Amino acid sequence: MGMIARTSRTVIVTRAAASAAVASVLLLTGCESAGSGQDAGADGTESAAAEQTAGSTEAAATEEPTEPAAMTTSGALVDDFPAAVKPLEDAEIVYSSVEPGEEGEAVKLNLTMRTEMSESDVLKFYAKTLEEAGFEPTADASSADGITKQTYHADEASQLLAVTINADPNTDGALLVSVGGTALP
């Protein structure tokens, strides 16, 4: 079935490319004829063919599936950010993003913040807020190479989030906290 889908998509792209090429030739021919004083399609056949070809190209382009676009922003929460993931109190939001999924599916998300909270307070905050949103830790928090990570999951829609904490290399005494993964909108 996957091969059939690829083959039909290739045909659509090939037809679209061929239609675009034909439309370009017809439009160029019409321009040259009109510019040289010759009667360019007095019966309207060249113009009608060009319009029909252009319409076919547009139809082929709209038949292809479009991927939902990721939304990103700096310094604030992006619109439609999942309510399950709350920003830390008094934290500076550095970056946030959401990549929509299909209807009823989890979205991909990322929230990066700068905070002066302690690592243990960050872990307590997310343990509490994510538990309230139906998430459970997958294991105890782990630390390696100056990075602490705690992973949470929720069974509904296979949601999975990771809270990552490390020292901010640009601000003494501050931590960078990232929450990323998938969650329902």
pLDDT tens for residues 93-151? 999 999 998 888 999 999 999 999 999 999 999 999 999 999 999 999 999 999 999 99
In terms of Cα–Cα distance, which of 97, 91, 80, 88 is closest to 126?
A: 88
Residue 119 belongs to domain spanning? 71-183
Identify the pLDDT of residue 104: 84
For 154, the 3-state DSSP assignment is strand
Same domain as 118, residue 154: yes
Q: Are residues 38 and 81 in the same domain?
A: no
- Residue 179, helix vs strand vs coil: strand
Q: Are residues 93 and 41 in the same domain?
A: no
Mean pLDDT of the chain: 76
CA distance from start to end of the chain:
31
Angle formed at CA 181 by CA 180 and CA 183, multiple of 5 degrees: 115
Amino acid letter for position 119: E
